[in-house]
Amino acid sequence: MQRGSISWTFLLLILLFGCGSGGDDSSTVTTQPPPPAVPPPSIVLEGRVLDAEQIALSWTVVDLYTNQAYAVEVNGAFYDATKSDGYLFHALPNTYYCFRVVVGVLVPLVPFYAAGPVSNQVCLTTPSLPPPPQLAPGWSIRGAGLGPGMNPAVARYGQAPQYGIYGCNALDSNILLGTSASATFGYLPPLTIDAIAPTFTVAGSPCGIAYDRVFGGVHAVTRDESGIWYRRAPFQLGQWSQTTPVLVAADAGPFSVAVDLNETPLILYGKSGQVFLARYNGGTWTSELIGPGFIGWRSLAVAPDGSIFVLVGDSGVTEQEGALHVMSRSLSGWTSVAVATDVAPWQTRGSGSIVAPAAGDVRVAFRKSFDGGSTKGVGYLVLNNGVWSEIIIERSAFVSPPAIAVAAAGESLISWGDEHFDLRLSRRSGGIWQTFHIDALGRLAEATDIEVDVDGNVFILYTADGSVKVAVGK
């Protein structure tokens, strides 16, 4: 009995104290499991300040379905959507921003729904703007009246009574905004009074334009998903009329427009890495192959003696550096007559532009690249007395594709945008180059085009915060 009493007593102690049912014991410590580790974000976001008005974002990609995209969030609110792995944010000077990238659903006409995954947050502050540059005096700046868009182009000057410049501007399609690609063509008189003349708008983007001396209007060219389309548009008594559009080339890419000595329109275009020259003849277009390469919006020039010159680049789909060839047709076919190296294209506008104001006089303005692409420059390639020479006019962290024109006195005029997207004009007079600020208010000059009318007025058509302005000066 004594042994059994000890066993029951021992069991009672285990039940009371070993199982914790013997009352409140403050000396007992309960150990909590450690919190789970926070997984790293599946999208790693990085950002850097380029200048007072630009922040570059980039991120690691995840697999996207057809109807998905990345939402760029700025200070906790949706800002824009993209399918790429980077974004150039247009910032305000001296401002603090926080960014995130979220995967979401992209459906037409429905607000973007951000469902995840989500990136890390990156916060940056832009610096203050530098002191404003001294603008060139004597220039008139106004809206071009050609609608929104980022693809301006100007034609050769008009004749009386339409003194001035014919121009066009194209708006790309945007599924988020519900806009379709369209191009607006119009006439730009030099005076600010009654500056907006009648315009006409057609489907397609970008646009190309050349002056039609026969009918007093323009040769108008656009591109849509089926190919490149041509129409003639006379402008008489302040009214536009159009002919039925004609297909020039199916499934074609960038193009450039000019007219030959017989007033026949020519269209230079790219297709599948090859360059072709199309000629209008009796209501139909016929094309000849020039060779492999890429072109831009001002890659075609006709000299007064009938010689044809084209710019053909080794690269053109991305900003990859390559050589830029000046091609000309001889009895043996198309041959390269001059080469500029380390040339950087810019989207579909190409690397630069070409003019041939006189026989034996060919001039090219192009986008030069230095230091592995970290610095750009305005290059100038010229044929003079049978000799080609190349110089660099200006350097900048960014240079938009320069456009070139020639004044009646023979001086070269080059329009371009710098690292602050200010509109610049480089002018060669008396063998000396000078560069001026024409406009520096807002985000400008990602794309420019330039021409001179019969009265010596210089017209620069250029982008300005998503729209287009025109600067007129002497």
Helix (H, G, I), strand (E, B) or coil at 82: strand
Tell me if 101 is assigned to some domain. yes
Predicted pLDDT at 25: 47
Residue 335 has pLDDT above 70, yes or no: yes
Predicted pLDDT at 13: 40
Rounded Cα distance between 237 and 454, Å, is 19
Residue 369 has pLDDT above 70, yes or no: yes
Phi-psi region of 373 (alpha: psi -120 to 50; beta: other; left: phi over 0): left
Give, in order, the Cα–Cα distances in Å from 404 to each of 175, 258, 327, 412, 416.
34, 15, 18, 7, 9
218 in the same domain as 89: no
Predicted pLDDT at 252: 94
259 in the same domain as 305: yes
Tell me if 354 is assigned to some domain. yes
Q: How is residue 261 written in tokens?
A: 């000595």
Amino acid at 237: L
Predicted pLDDT at 401: 93
Predicted pLDDT at 30: 55
165 in the same domain as 112: no
119 in the same domain as 160: no
144 in the same domain as 106: no
> What DSSP designation does 17 have?
I
Q: What is the mean pLDDT of the chain?
A: 85
Predicted pLDDT at 144: 87
418 in the same domain as 379: yes
Residue 289 has pLDDT above 70, yes or no: yes
Residue 292 has pLDDT above 90, yes or no: yes
3-state SS, one letter per residue, for 203-272: ECCCEEEEEECCCCEEEEEEEECCEEEEEEEEEECCEECCCCCEEEEECCCCEEEEECCCCCEEEEEEEC
Instruction: Say how many C-beta atoms besides its own lie within 10 A of residue 169's C-beta.
Output: 32
171 in the same domain as 253: yes
pLDDT in tens, 435-446: 999 998 766 778
> What domain range includes position 72?
45-125
272 in the same domain as 230: yes
Higher pLDDT, 387 or 116: 387
235 in the same domain as 286: yes
> Among residues 75, 101, 125, which one ends one of the domains?
125
| Total number of domains in the chain | 2
Predicted pLDDT at 76: 92
pLDDT in tens, 129-159: 777 778 888 999 988 888 877 778 887 655 5
> Among residues 78, 100, 125, which one ends one of the domains?
125
CATH number, domain containing residue 120 = 2.60.40.10
Phi, psi of 60 (to 5 degrees): -75, 145
The dihedral formed by the CA atoms of 458, 464, 467 and 472, expressed in degrees to the nearest 10: -20
313 in the same domain as 237: yes
Question: Percentage of the chain surpassing pLDDT 90?
Answer: 52
- Residue range 6-16: mean pLDDT, rounded: 42
Tell me if 208 is assigned to some domain. yes
Residue 97 has pLDDT above 90, yes or no: yes
106 in the same domain as 172: no
Tell me if 20 is assigned to some domain. no
Tell me if 25 is assigned to some domain. no
CATH number, domain containing residue 435 = 2.120.10.70
pTM: 0.77
Give, in order, the Cα–Cα distances in Å from 54 to each of 82, 91, 288, 353.
17, 5, 43, 27
> Among residues 93, 125, 157, which one ends one of the domains?
125
Tell me if 267 is assigned to some domain. yes
Residue 58, strand partner residues: 46, 86
pLDDT in tens, 350-359: 999 999 999 9
pLDDT in tens, 152-185: 888 765 555 556 789 999 888 765 555 688 999 9
Q: How is residue 15 written in tokens?
A: 């039940």
Phi, psi of 431 (to 5 degrees): 80, 5
Local confidence band at 18 (pLDDT 50, 70, 90 cut-offs): very low
Question: Percentage of the chain surpassing pLDDT 70?
Answer: 86
- Residue range 398-402: mean pLDDT, rounded: 92
Predicted pLDDT at 6: 44
pLDDT in tens, 313-323: 998 877 788 99
80 in the same domain as 199: no
Higher pLDDT, 200 or 66: 200
Tell me if 40 is assigned to some domain. no
Local confidence band at 45 (pLDDT 50, 70, 90 cut-offs): very high
Tell me if 19 is assigned to some domain. no
Most confident of 153-157, 411-415, 464-468: 411-415
Predicted pLDDT at 9: 45
Predicted pLDDT at 348: 76
